[in-house]
Structure 1
């Protein structure tokens, strides 16, 4: 149940964005760093995802191949790529090695969330097996030399090129930004396939004025839905208010980063699916193989996997192209397999490639 809040209308900034990634705590993931989406290579040189193993004989819990030497080798390769163009975390649960949120050196920003609770219309059915949704974001941030799609810097053309095949994927939201100073204003586009493939041109958001400061939220429902999820609506208001306070107090960038983490932090215990519509940070909850919530009163050996907010990321892109990117660990699995609060942080500052 990922959630993001962003604005393109805050004076002095091209973009302010805050993002919570909610995912299974045992899903193999590499932390944010510079890379070029190199494939994960095993010791024998073969390319392989870190995939689920068979259920354990003890309690049937779905386990992941999290061989530490393999993960360490992947991390070293991930960090040692000359001329790396993309800054993001990497999902290593699939061979494609995609991402959920990233920024390129030429100031393209993209994010991806899954869609739940919204079935596809009749006639819209994913391929079997469905293609990786992460490829949509990957090809935008770092187009391959063989790609026949329009230039990824042209947001609307890129989205239009994928609209005819959007129904081939499982449910998704794709939000893309091109923040190049060569553009008269930021280019922003949105693509979804629930309840049917559709796209939106959101360029107007950079010209928004008023009390809401253009603050926009998106979670795991389509952006165009009339009734916003409670956490999306409350988060938009919270972001607008904290930006107003930050500006009035003339605080610095570090204070702004902390304020954005405050926007992402509200949390309530999760006892039912409906609670997920209200909590911005998702406390760890155990899900059964049928993806239903296992009550906290159940035995600790109950069959299931832990899911919650793994990381929270804040991205600031100044008008002059300077970028501040901060990723923090929120929840992780301890050595005993139980959730524990994370304390890691990765911070990057760089100047975007501008002409």
Structure 2
């Protein structure tokens, strides 16, 4: 179950995003790179394509990205704990296309007002309701406007005073009753707030990156559960921020579009830091696993690869 931390309350940064992607390690994925005429910085999924056939020029889906104009987006599979077991999470269109529709825009020519609600987003991308269930966080750094929209047609302004300029979102609905919130989102928000207090007087990029990745790597799954297959206790992924490699049985439903390989867990981690003047971006990706055999060597403390980018917002 993926997770996104977002805050604008740190005194040293306009925006901090921390993202864990929980997936099957064998799912084909391209590391973060500049693409789409070097206008979008993101990883992208290669397991499900936009059209019926793949080509080198084809747009693939992503779960997180930022463009040179300062627009940012992160999509999560929406999988409430009370979802019916026989309800498919797959739609005819890849949900990963949704962030690209927003990121492939020019903020100087295309006002955020054209996208600032579920209804307006759907006017720009009519296939919005043809994807699998989702929650989408997106916004414009220059305008300091951010939204979450979801499959149910809901729109939530976020990163403002109403949510304390911070939130944590996983695969549950954003506005879920507090008594039904997952442990990982409730404890994650507390951990995020503590991290902000701890680093407010020491916020060099390197220190912040280290703190953010440490937060993203918080694991509360006991070792004895890690050694069991996922189906023994599937709710553990509702509890822990970092999901260690968990085995699964053939065709086991873990709430994803499809299964690929044996092991599921936190596959990659991404931190995005935006300077207080909203001009400079530091982006770092840690790819932990790209195959089942990686679990013998790699971990959150020993990632398979690290990709780092820095650029100025136009």
The TM-score range, normalised by the shorter chain, is 0.7 to 0.9
The equivalent of 1:198 in structure 2 is 154
Distance 2:120 2:83 in 1: 20
Deviation at 1:11, TM superposition (A): 2.2
1:25-104 matched pairs, under 5 angstroms: 25-36=25-36, 83-96=37-50, 97-104=60-67
The equivalent of 2:305 in structure 1 is 344
Cα distance, 1:232–1:347 mapped onto 2, change above 3 Å:
same
| Cα RMSD for the two superposed structures | 2.9
Deviation at 1:228, TM superposition (A): 1.7
TM-score (normalizing by structure 1)? 0.70
The equivalent of 2:2 in structure 1 is 2
Distance 1:198 1:6 in 2: 19
- C-alpha distance after superposition, 1:189-228 (max 9, x if no partner): 11111xx3211222xx2446xxx96331001111111122
Deviation at 1:337, TM superposition (A): 7.4
Cα distance, 1:236–1:338 mapped onto 2, change above 3 Å:
closer
Q: Which runs of no fewer than 5 residues in structure 1 stay unpaired? A: 37-82, 145-149, 294-302
The structure 2 residue matched to 1:234, chosen from 187, 190, 193, is 187
Cα distance, 1:339–1:88 mapped onto 2, change above 3 Å:
farther
Q: Secondary structure at the match of 2:112?
A: coil
1:163-242 matched pairs, under 5 angstroms: 163=122, 166-180=128-142, 183=143, 186-193=144-151, 196-202=152-158, 205-207=159-161, 214-226=165-177, 227-242=180-195
Q: Secondary structure at the match of 1:256?
A: helix
- C-alpha distance after superposition, 1:103-155 (max 9, x if no partner): 0000001000101235779xxx99995211112111100149xxxxx936336
The equivalent of 2:20 in structure 1 is 20
The equivalent of 2:211 in structure 1 is 259
Q: Secondary structure at the match of 1:312?
A: strand
Task: Please tell me whether residue 278 in structure 1 is matched to residue 239 in structure 2.
Answer: yes
Distance 2:49 2:129 in 1: 22
Deviation at 1:287, TM superposition (A): 1.9
Distance 2:265 2:89 in 1: 28
Contact 1:111 1:176 in 2 (8 A): yes
Task: Please tell me whether residue 130 in structure 1 is matched to residue 92 in structure 2.
Answer: yes
Distance 2:175 2:97 in 1: 23
The structure 1 residue matched to 2:120, chosen from 161, 169, 192, is 161
Deviation at 1:338, TM superposition (A): 5.8
Distance 2:94 2:33 in 1: 21
Contact 2:75 2:96 in 1 (8 A): yes
Deviation at 1:292, TM superposition (A): 5.3
Higher RCO by CA contacts (8 Å cutoff, separation 6 or greater): 2
How many equivalent residue pairs? 277
The equivalent of 2:288 in structure 1 is 330
Cα distance, 1:312–1:152 mapped onto 2, change above 3 Å:
farther
Distance 2:105 2:248 in 1: 36
Q: Which runs of no fewer than 5 residues in structure 2 stay unpaired? A: 51-59, 255-259
